[in-house]
Amino acid sequence: MSVEAHAVITSAFPRWDRELLFEILNKIHDVVMVIDTDTTIIYANEAYARILGVPVAKVLGRRLDKIEPKAEAINVLRTGKAYQSGGDYLDSLGIDVVGSSFLLYYGKRIIGCVSIFKNITEVVELNRELQQTKGVAAYLKEQLEQWEQLPLSFKEYVGQNSRLKETLVLAAKVARTDSTVLILGESGVGKDVLARAMHSSSRRKDKPLIKVNCAAIPEDLIESELFGYEEGAFTGAKKGGKLGKFELAHSGTIFLDEIGDMSLTMQAKLLRVLQDKEFERVGGTKSIKVDIRVIAATNRDLESMIQKGTFRLDLYYRLNIVPLILTPLRERKDDILALSKTFLQRLSREVGRELILSPRVMSFFQEYNWPGNIRELQNVLEHASIVCSGVSIEIQHLPARIIPKTNERVKAKDKPYAVKEILAGVEKELILSALDTYHNNRTKAMKALGFSRRVFYDKLIRYGIH
Ligand SMILES: Nc1ncnc2c1ncn2[C@@H]1O[C@H](COP(=O)(O)OP(=O)(O)OP(=O)(O)O)[C@@H](O)[C@H]1O
Ligand SMILES: [Mg+2]
């Protein structure tokens, strides 16, 4: 300070008295708090009440080690470190703060500790939102790359069958609540579609819907996939850690698909999250709270799994609050034609001409028992749309594996030597069969078929295999 400035100040403030000092401290926007050696709070400025929401009179004379035993100031006092700065979480108030604490000396004697800090809860919250948004963006990008289906809403959900309608009415009703939902039904019956429709008609529709395919994640990765991990949690862990699916789904919906394929160890961990809506990241100690809606689905018979001891009864009770059972297609044959019509409309647009079912195919569809349900119907029609060169889809345009033996060979009556179409039909059949054999594991199917990744995915798109 210059000599002149010093002179001005000393003339304006002849005495640095207590009052003036306190006034200055009260002007500071950050909290200033002083404790003595037994951690009793002996001073707090006005910012204390404003920022922490607790009147100063209420804390003066109270011991900080009773209110906030993990506070940085206590640490500084106990360890005798002269100075400490950084972030802190105040358990008693549930807020994040950042600042510094330093020892207070009277001559050479330590007489207490001063802490100066500000509330950064909003910043921490914003950072959490930012991390979540980043995570969701990465997740959606990954989903797009996997050619995920676009969500269907209830309006687009095709089906007139009375049993299906009952399920849909119930589904639409619970969609509006936050209740846990369990969707049961055979493979290809529309569980994914229903889960998405429920999310998009819930109050969480603008928040993320995060799907976890419990069957597709290797056992040793599932915990970090679901709960995330902290930096350095294991070798190969990403710098800065990674958000798990539960954190990505915060304020939205988590869709736990193929829940029946989860190991017993993971079932126990999942149960805890469902009960407390709270968990820790792998390698972390801080409990993370999430606000999520859970939709689970499986094609497995959970009750018989419970009897065999492979599914936890308590988890089943937790999930089975509102069970939604999707009827297999063979038990709602009245929907087959409506579904076919919907799929044919899209396929007609794709092939550039109108496609219809011949009366024989219509009656065959009623007899066939559709083990692969709606997905199979969709695939059968896509196959037919490629093989059929006319308007009317005939029996011989259907995949060989489903048509009666006498029509075993895929031959178009009107074009018996249409090599390209016939080979395409056979190729698609082989791809579907390989996918079946390897339970939809695309990498394994691709290797078994001897295709490169690019060729294989080109073919999946060409044949409309999802
Ligand atoms: N009601 C419907 N209307 C139109 N398309 C549907 C309907 N239900 C299902 N689909 C279509 O059928 C296919 C299979 O549906 P989905 O993936 O939802 O079945 P899933 O029950 O989840 O099968 P999995 O058990 O194999 O996972 C999808 O391509 C979907 O678009
Ligand atoms: Mg599914």
DSSP 8-state assignment for residue 210 = E
Q: Is 190 in the pocket of ligand 1 (CB under 6 A)?
A: yes
Q: pLDDT tens digits, residue range 341-379?
A: 999 999 999 989 899 998 889 989 998 999 999 999 999
| Nearest alpha carbon, ligand 1 atom 17 | 192
* Cα 152 to ligand 1 centroid, rounded to whole Å: 10
Ligand 1 lined by 328 (C-beta under 6 Å): no
373-402: per-residue pLDDT in tens? 999 999 999 999 998 888 889 888 999 888
For the beta sheet containing 95-106, the strands, ordered from the edge strand earlier in sequence to the opposite edge, are 41-44, 31-36, 109-119, 95-106, 83-90
Measured distance between the N- and C-terminal CA atoms of the chain, rounded to whole angstroms: 75
What pLDDT is recorded for position 381? 96
For atom 6 of ligand 1, the residue with the nearest CA is 190
Ligand closest to Cα of 382 equals: 1
Q: Is the C-beta atom of 157 inside 6 A of ligand 1?
A: yes
Which atom, in ligand 1's list, is nearest to the CA of 326? 21
Any atom of ligand 1 within 6 Å of the Cβ of 75? no
Neighbour-count burial of 101, counting CB atoms closer than 10 A to its CB (0-12 exposed, 13-18 middle, 19+ buried): buried
Q: What is the pLDDT of residue 14?
A: 56
Q: Is residue 78 within 6 Å of ligand 1 at its C-beta?
A: no
Does residue 15 register a pLDDT over 60? Answer: no
- Of 165, 415, 193, nearest to 297 (Cα)? 193
Question: CA quadruple 372, 193, 157, 458: dihedral positive or negative?
Answer: negative
Would you say 191 and 299 are in contact if contact means Cβ atoms under 8 Å apart?
yes
Domains and CATH numbers, the chain: 3-119 (3.30.450.20), 125-327 (3.40.50.300), 330-462 (1.10.8.60)
- Ligand 1, residue 192: give the atom nearest the CA: 18
Q: Give the contacts of 11 (CB within 8 A, at least 6 positions apart).
A: none
At 368 the pLDDT is 92
User: pLDDT tens, 33-83?
Assistant: 999 999 999 999 999 999 888 899 999 999 999 998 888 899 899 988 877
The H-assigned helical ranges of 155-300 are 162-175, 191-200, 219-227, 245-248, 264-276
In short, whether 300's Cβ falls inside 6 Å of ligand 1 is no
* 327 band by pLDDT with thresholds 50, 70 and 90: very high
Beta-strand ranges (E) seen in 308-453 are 322-325, 356-357, 392-393
pLDDT for 1 beyond 60 = no
pLDDT 10s digits, 239-280: 677 889 999 999 999 999 999 999 999 899 999 999 988 898
Asked if 373 and 188 touch (Cβ cutoff 8 Å), the reply is: yes
Whether residue 197 has pLDDT greater than 50: yes
Rounded to the nearest angstrom, the distance between the alpha carbon of 373 and the centre of ligand 1 is 8
Q: Does 145 score more than 70 pLDDT? A: no
